Amino acid sequence: MLTLTEMRDYQEAQILKQKISALLAGVVESGDEGVPEGASGLDALAPGALVYTEAGQKVTFTNPPKVDDYDVVMRLGLWAVAMGIGITGESLSGDLSRVNFSSMRGGRLEMDKNIETWQEQILIAQFCAGVGRWALDAYRLRASKRVGPLQMAWTAQRRALIDPTKEIPAIIKKVEAGLSSLSREQRAMGLDPETIARERAEDAARQPSAPDEPKADIETKKGKSA
């Protein structure tokens, strides 16, 4: 939070410096006749204005030091904030100009571990579980007959695959080797295993059955076999 505050102050200072740089105005030194009636003084200094000074007055503009490296300061500040949160700097800033596929994937793997922890220990364990208990209590109170024990399962939001052509075969091999279950991997991708199983059964039921072979063809095949 301190870093964000300092970045805000730094950004506001840069914006103010740009406004001051745009303050192009003309200062007219008055002669013996003095300032014309109704003319503006230095207190009306603004971009594009013409202001007057009293006789004998001189205007000296300050020359503040130039502050460079705005991009570097803001980028490093955002990266420090991202590390404190536990996400990648690219995810916080949206800037992908300085990463390649390998570095982005490595950063995503570390960030995904944190996100899975937040999902399981904060969103599901502390929020969803409580709401689920309230929903089950309300269901039991409204049920007209005694209901058995009910349980709820939670599926977190889908994690976007960085390289599906490589990641999906790796998931299949992990399931086939017994290192994980199909249901666990489906939930990790934000899918409901029961919904998938039901939809696959419905798809199989909709598949047209193979047409029966004509009797003549069957006899021909038998004759060739003999």
Is residue 40 predicted with pLDDT exceeding 70? no
Domain ranges of the chain: 2-53, 102-150, 155-207
Q: Please state, in angstroms and rounded to a whole number, the distance separating the CA atoms of residues 38 and 21.
A: 27
Question: Which residues are bridge partners to 53 per DSSP?
Answer: 29
Is residue 80 predicted with pLDDT exceeding 60? yes
Sign for the pseudo-dihedral over CA of 199, 200, 201, 205: positive
Instruction: Identify whether the C-beta of residue 147 lies closer than 8 Å to the C-beta of residue 139.
Output: yes
Tell me the per-residue pLDDT of 132-181, one tens digit each, with 9 for 90 and over: 989 888 888 887 777 777 778 787 777 777 778 888 898 999 999 999 99
Categorize the per-residue pLDDT at 75 as very low, low, confident or very high, splitting at 50, 70 and 90: confident
Tokens of 61: 């503009």
Is residue 226 predicted with pLDDT exceeding 50? no
Q: Please state, in angstroms and rounded to a whole number, the distance separating the CA atoms of residues 35 and 54.
A: 6
Q: Please state, in angstroms and rounded to a whole number, the distance separating the CA atoms of residues 114 and 92.
A: 15
Q: Please state, in angstroms and rounded to a whole number, the distance separating the CA atoms of residues 195 and 183.
A: 11
Is residue 96 predicted with pLDDT exceeding 60? yes
Q: Please state, in angstroms and rounded to a whole number, the distance separating the CA atoms of residues 221 and 217.
A: 6
Q: Hey, what amino acid is at 110?
A: E
